[in-house]
Structure 1
Amino acid sequence: MSEVISTSKLSKRYGSTYSVQDMNLTVREGDIYGFLGPNGAGKSTTLKMILGLAKPTEGKVKVFGKDFAEERRQILDQTGSLIESPSYYGHLTGLENMRVVQRLRRVPDNNVTEALKIVRLDKHKDKKAGQYSLGMKQRLGIAMALVSWPKLLVLDEPTNGLDPAGIGEIRELIKSLPERFGMTVLLSSHLLAEIEQIATSVGIIHQGKLLFQGSMEELQRRSYPMIMIKTADNSRAQRFLAAEGYSPQLFEDRIAFAGLGDEEAAAVNRRLVAANIDVLRIEEHKKNLEHIFLELTGKERSL
C-alpha cells in the first residue's frame, strides 16, 4: 500500500524544549492509524504540523507523496480534519454552518445531508450551534470534516464529549470509512480502549517521541500472555515450584508465570496436585494495550 502520510525527523521546538522530536510517522493508504499518547505528549502538535497549522522547527512532511510545503492547496483539498475542538459560528444553525463549509469545499447538497445524517444531527440541523451540547458540537465538527468525503481524514480526540452511545456510533462510523469511501484515517486519542477497538495501525508517542509504530498485531505480539494459577496455599506453591526450577511470582491472590505454554502449564498443575496443593483455578491473562503502553514508557501513570 502507498504511503498517504510520511514525516521525516519532524520536530517542533519552543525555546529550548521540544514538543515533538524526530517524528518519523508513516500512515498507509486504507489505514485507520491510532496515534496514542497521554495528554501533552505532542499528538496535537504533530497533527497540526501535518496539516500546515504549525510550522515545523525541523523535518519534512509528505502527504499523498507530495511535499506539503510545495503542494499545500492540492493536499488540503483532499483532506478533512478536526483538531482539538470544532470551529463553528454559534449564531448560525448546524445546517448553516455546514453550508459555509459546503461553499468552501465546493460540494453538492447531498454531501451535507449525508454528513449530518451520519453524525445524527439531521434532526437538530435547524438549531443554533451555540445551543448545542458539547457532544453535538463535536459531531458537527466531524460532519464538517466529512462533508467533502476526503481521501484523508485527520481527527484529534474525535470522541471527546460524547456519551457512551455516541462513542460507539462514531467508532463504527470511523471503522467503515476506509471500505465505504476509500478514506485513510489518522486519529489521535488518549483512550486506550478506543484505539484497541478501532485502529489497524498504531503509533505510541510519549514526551514528543515516537516509541512504537506498526500494526496492532505487531504491538500485541510484543507481549506474551501470563498464566495465573490460584491455589489453596499460594506461598507454599510458589516455594515448591521455585525449588522445581520454575520462576513463579506472587500476584495478588494468584501465582503468575510468564511465557508458560500449554504443556508446561499442565505439568505445573500435575506437580502441584502431586504435592497435595489444591489447584483452584488456572487462567490465561493477555496484556492489553495499557500494559504494553506502560512497559514502553516506563511510567506507571494514568492516561
Structure 2
Amino acid sequence: MNTIVATHNLSKKYNGVYRVNNVNLQVNEGEIYGFLGPNGAGKSTTLKMLLGLTKPTNGDVVILEKDFRKYRQSILRKTGSLIESPSYYGHLTGLENMRMMQRLRNVPDKNVEKALQIVRLENQKNKKVDHYSLGMKQRLGIAMAIIAFPKLLILDEPTNGLDPAGIEEIRNLIKSFPKRYGMTVLLSSHLLSEIEQMATSVGIISNGKLLFQGSMESLQAKSMSCISIKTQNNDAAEALLLNKELQPIRKRDALMFENLNNKHIAHINRMLVSSGIDVFRIEERKKSLEDIFLEITGKERSLS
C-alpha cells in the first residue's frame, strides 16, 4: 500500500512553545484518516504545514512519495484542501466562484460541472453564495477543493457548525471519495462521533503530540467490555469481594470488573446474595471512544 502522507518529527514552535511536537503521521492510499484532538491540540497547524501555509520549525513532509520542499508545486497540483472555513465571494454565484477556482487550477469545464454535481449544488449554482445556507457553503467549499479531482484531499473540521442533517450529508459525501473518485482523505475533527463514523484510520493528537496512530479497528479494540454490578450496599460488596481476592473497581454507583466470563459472573452473584447483599443489576459495558481518548491522553482534557 502506497503512503500518501508521511511526516518525520514535524514540529512548529510559536513564542518558544511547541504547538506541534515531533509528529510522525502516516496516511496510506485509499484511507479516510481521522485526525482527532481537542481544539488547540495542533491539528490545524499540522495540516497547514502539509500544505505549505505554515513553515515547520523542523521536520520533514513527504506527500505522494515526494519531498514537499523540493516538489511543492507538483504536489499541490494533486492536492485539494479546505482549511478552517470555505473561502468564497458572497456576491458571486456558486458557479462563478467555481469558475475562478477553475482558472486557478487550470482544469476543464467538465470538472466544474462534475464537482458541483457530486456535492449536489448543480441546481443552486446560479444563486449568489450570500444566499446559501451554511451547509451549502460548506459543500461549495468541498466542490472547490475537489475541482481538480486530487489524489489527496485535506479537510479541516468539515462538519463544524452544521446541523445534524448537514453533518450527515457531508459525512456521506466524504465517505464516497476514496472508492468512487480514488481520493485519499485526511480530515481533522474534535467530534469523536464523526471520526468514528467516517474514518478507517485515526491519529490522536493532544498538546501538539501524536499519542495514537492506527486503524479504527485497533482503536476500537481498546474498548474491552467490562461487567458492572450494582448492589444494595456497594461498600459491603466491595469489602467482601476484595477479601475473596477479587479486584472490583469502584465507579459511580457500581462495581466494575474486567475479564469476567459467565461462570465468574454467576459465582460473584451467588456470593453476594448468600452474604445478604441484594444484587440490583448486572450489565455489560463497553468503553466509548471518548473513554478511550481520555485514557490515551491521560484524562487531561475533553474533546470540546
TM-score, normalised by the number of residues in structure 2: 0.93
Structure 1 pair 263/147, CA: closer, same or farther in 2 (3 Å)? farther
User: What letter is aligned with 1:211?
Assistant: L
Q: Which moved more, 1:120-129 or 1:162-171?
A: 120-129
1:143-182 residue pairs with structure 2 within 5 A? 143-182=143-182
- After TM superposition, give the deviation of residue 85 of structure 1 in Å: 1.1
- Residue 92 in 1 paired to residue 92 in 2? yes
Residues 100 and 254 of structure 1: CA distance in aligned 2, closer, same or farther (over 3 Å): same
Root-mean-square deviation (Å): 1.7
Secondary structure at 1:21's aligned position in 2?
Answer: strand
Q: What letter corresponds to residue 291 of structure 1 in structure 2?
A: D
Given the alignment of the two structures, is residue 102 of structure 1 paired with residue 99 of structure 2, yes or no? no
| Alpha-carbon contact 1:135-1:160 (below 8 Å) kept | no
**Percentage of pairs with the same residue:** 65
Counterpart of 2:73 in structure 1 is 73
Counterpart position of 1:189: 189
Find the residue that maps to 2:123 and give its secondary structure: helix
Alignment-derived partner of residue 284 in structure 1: 284
Deviation at 1:223, TM superposition (A): 4.1
Alignment of 1:132-151 (within 5 A): 132-151=132-151
**1:236 corresponds to which residue?**
236
Q: Which digits, 9 at most, give the CA deviation of each residue in 1:85-132, with x for residues without a partner?
A: 111112211111011112322333343233223333233222212333
Does the 8 Å CA contact 2:49/2:56 hold for their aligned counterparts? yes
Counting matched residue pairs gives 303
* Displacement after TM superposition at 1:300 (Å): 4.6
Aligned AA for 2:192? L
Q: What is the alpha-carbon distance in structure 1 between the residues aligned to residue 300 and residue 56 of structure 2?
A: 31
Aligned to 1:47: 47
Out of 213-222 and 274-283, give the one that drifted further. 274-283
Q: Matches of 1:263 and 1:52 in 2, distance apart?
A: 58
Secondary structure of the structure 1 residue equivalent to 2:202: strand
Report if aligned partners of 2:294, 2:302 keep a CA contact under 8 Å in 1: no
Counterpart residue identity of residue 39, structure 2: N
| 2:112/2:147 contact within 8 Å kept | yes
Q: Kindly provide the CA deviation profile for residues 106-164 of structure 1, in whole angstroms up to 9, marking residues without a partner as x.
A: 33334323322333323322221233333322221111112222111100000012210
Tell me whether 12-21 or 56-65 shows the greater mean CA deviation: 12-21
CA contact (8 A) 1:138 1:161 kept: no
Alpha-carbon distance between aligned partners in 2 of 1:258 and 1:58, rounded to the nearest angstrom: 43
CA contact (8 A) 1:94 1:128 kept: yes
Larger mean CA deviation between 293-302 and 39-48 belongs to: 293-302
Contact 1:3 1:64 in 2 (8 A): yes
Cα deviation 1:27-82 (Å, max 9, x = unaligned): 01111110011111110110011111111111110001100111111111111100
The residue number in structure 1 matching 2:267 is 267
| Separation (CA, whole Å) in 2 of partners of 1:206 and 1:158 | 20
Deviations 1:180-227 (A, max 9, x none): 112111000000111111111111111111111111122223342221
Distance 1:77 1:262 in 2: 58
Are 2:202 and 1:202 aligned? yes
Q: Distance in 2 between matches of 1:149 and 1:266?
A: 58
The worse-fitting range, judged by mean Cα deviation, of 208-217 and 290-299 is 290-299
3-state SS of the aligned residue for 2:69? coil
**CA–CA distance in 2 between the matches of 1:300 and 1:261?**
32
Q: Is the 8 A contact 2:189 2:195 kept in 1?
A: yes
* 1:7 and 2:7 are equivalent in the alignment: yes
Question: 5+ unaligned residues in a row in structure 2: which ranges?
Answer: none
Change (3 A) 1:60 1:260: same
Q: Which runs of 5+ in 1 are unaligned?
A: none
Distance in 1 separating the partners of 2:117 and 2:233: 59
